[in-house]
Chain A
């Protein structure tokens, strides 16, 4: 899952970036409204975390223009503006959720998970598919009831393939979901992780769609 974090405060941005990376999200952090617009143009993100008081272009303007262009990303506003009118205008401009600073990291993570869940079109917090059960909150994976030990990257890769399942993702898309701008990607890193996952889940669980990419398929 790749998130775009828009936050002008260096200290807050740094901590949020660190915290989200710690949750195995790929995070790109930009610090003003213009850069946010540029980054959104890439269309590789699963969620937008947006501060409102931004240099160069205000967060609300960035958001409403993004929605006018047809942007579908779930948007979570994180701001110090706590007045009811601010919340209303934030949500009316197209935000899906609104979090007032200072907030708790666990709450932020929960809201991010909830938004991603809805974006993938499901209501259940746990993803179950073909004998595999994945819990994004506790980051546990079960195969036919028994716990699987996955590395952080393996977990992120599996979640990308399962949420929603049976969608075909290219190698490039998978790389984008796993790595932010600031992370080095080994030339065949994703293929290595797929190889590891196949060993743990069974070879046929992750299918190679020739010439397109990968998808999960129930055995």
Chain B
């Protein structure tokens, strides 16, 4: 049973039935007490009001409902029966005087015995009379309840349905809207019980809307940016088709390869960026040795540094550990080192430093290239932002990825000038 309405109805009706039952039982017991008192008095009065020493006629004709009537018996001093009201139901003579209860023929009886002027009088009454009276009384008093319960059930059914209508309205409002309609639900005039739910739902809608908008912007940007390498690729492919002669064809294929590499690089960076987007749930962090990781990354970049005649210098304090994701942190360091090497002129120097400071772990990548002017330092973190006049073929995503990874790791990211001459210093400060 999964309906609040049915569940409420069931429990309230069961509760009412149980309490009605208890009320009925206690009324029955009360009525029985009253009946006992009343009938005890009655049979006592009958016994006391019998005329003394008279020769009573023996009644033989039983009336219509003899089961319920009192049996009156009189004996003389010698124990000879003088009178019995219903001979067919004559009880034995019980000697004890006063009121008491006996069992006769599997039936409880109430007796009153007395002795007057040598006569012994016994008035007996079946207990069933009293029980039936008590039950009838109790039942009569319960009658209103039996009328009340179906009425109440109807009332509960109707009022619960009515009270739940705002919920139905919310459901309808949600069910009939489009998938992209993220405007909040109306929060006014809502019952106290539903309002928190709707408010929570609206907050969720708002977060979803933001997430969807940023995704949409990302897809639009990505679609736009993908066109450039694809255009270069298609143009070169068509030119390659038109070439004649082996030498020309070799050159054309080399260019074709460069353009494919560029497209691959962009797609890879896009995927890395999408993966590095700050997630709602906290990522699984492990203990990462930042110095060891920086050393590994530096090894990977040795060939590139050599190709650019760049000196890649390491200044690593051993065993600087941060909490984070190994893969993401490797991407972060790789992007920074890659940028530093590619955007510095040949023959320059790139320093990769990891150090522990009080409360922080600091990673720095320092180059002596041309640097980034202060007014562009915010914008270089925007995705697809490429500085004007850069000859290096890049995706414009590297620093956007770095920013995302730093954010996920609660790390601060700073760009500054290289104090010892020209160049850029990228500082990532991790909390310890």
Contacts and interface: CB of A to CB of B under 8 A. Distances in A.
Contact of B235 (A12, A56, A80): A12
B235 A55 contact: no
A127 interface: no
Contact of B259 (A11, A18, A100, A103): A11
B258 interface: yes
A9 B230 CA distance: 12
Interface string B39-58: 00000000000000000000
Interface residues of A, number: 22
Contacts of A10: 391, 393
A163 interface: no
Main secondary structure of the interface of B (DSSP, over half): helix
Contact of A11 (B224, B225, B238, B262): B262
B228 interface: yes
Contacts of B210: none
Contacts of B230: 101-102
A101 B231 contact: yes
Q: Identify which of A9, A102, A103, A106 gathers the most chain B CB atoms within 10 Å of its CB.
A: A102
B242 A12 contact: no
A55 to B, nearest CB: 4
Nearest to A102: B231
Contacts of B162: none
Interface in A1-28: 9-12, 14-16, 18-19, 22
A196 interface: no
A16 B242 CA distance: 13
B247 interface: no
A105 interface: yes
Q: Identify which of B229, B231, B234 gathers the most chain A CB atoms within 10 Å of its CB.
A: B231
A103 B235 CA distance: 8
B334 interface: no
Contact of B227 (A14, A18, A22, A101): A101
Contacts of A101: 227-228, 230-231
B388 interface: yes
B389 interface: yes
Contacts, number: 60
Contact of A15 (B225, B227, B236, B389): B236
B232 interface: yes
B391 A105 contact: no
B388 A56 contact: yes
B208 interface: no
A28 to B, nearest CB: 18
Contacts of B228: 9, 12, 80, 101
Contacts of B232: 9, 11-12, 15
Nearest to A108: B235
Contacts of A15: 232, 235-236, 239, 255
Contacts of B239: 15, 18-19, 22, 105
A19 B238 contact: yes
A81 B224 contact: yes
B238 A104 contact: yes
A32 interface: yes
A19 B231 CA distance: 13
A100 B400 CA distance: 27
A167 B47 CA distance: 155
Interface string B226-261: 011111111110110010000000000001001100
Contact of A32 (B238, B388, B393): B388
Contacts of B388: 32, 55-56
Contacts of B389: 32, 55
A155 B234 CA distance: 28
Nearest to B388: A55
B224 A103 contact: no
B378 to A, nearest CB: 18
Q: Identify which of B227, B229, B233, B238 gathers the most chain A CB atoms within 10 Å of its CB.
A: B227
Interface string A174-215: 000000000000000000000000000000000000000000
A102 to B, nearest CB: 4
A105 B255 CA distance: 17
Contacts of A19: 235, 238-239
A189 B393 CA distance: 38
A11 B262 CA distance: 10
Interface of A: 9-12, 14-16, 18-19, 22, 32, 55-56, 80-81, 100-106
Interface of B: 224-225, 227-236, 238-239, 242, 255, 258-259, 262, 388-389, 391, 393
23 contacts: A9-B228, A9-B231, A9-B232, A10-B393, A11-B232, A11-B236, A11-B259, A12-B231, A12-B232, A15-B232, A15-B255, A16-B235, A19-B239, A32-B388, A55-B388, A80-B227, A81-B224, A101-B230, A102-B231, A102-B233, A102-B235, A105-B235, A106-B238
Given A12-B235, A80-B231, 11 more contacts: A9-B232, A10-B391, A11-B258, A12-B232, A15-B232, A15-B235, A19-B238, A55-B388, A80-B224, A80-B228, A101-B227
Closest 3 pairs between A and B when the two form their complex, measured CB to CB = A15-B235, A11-B232, A55-B388
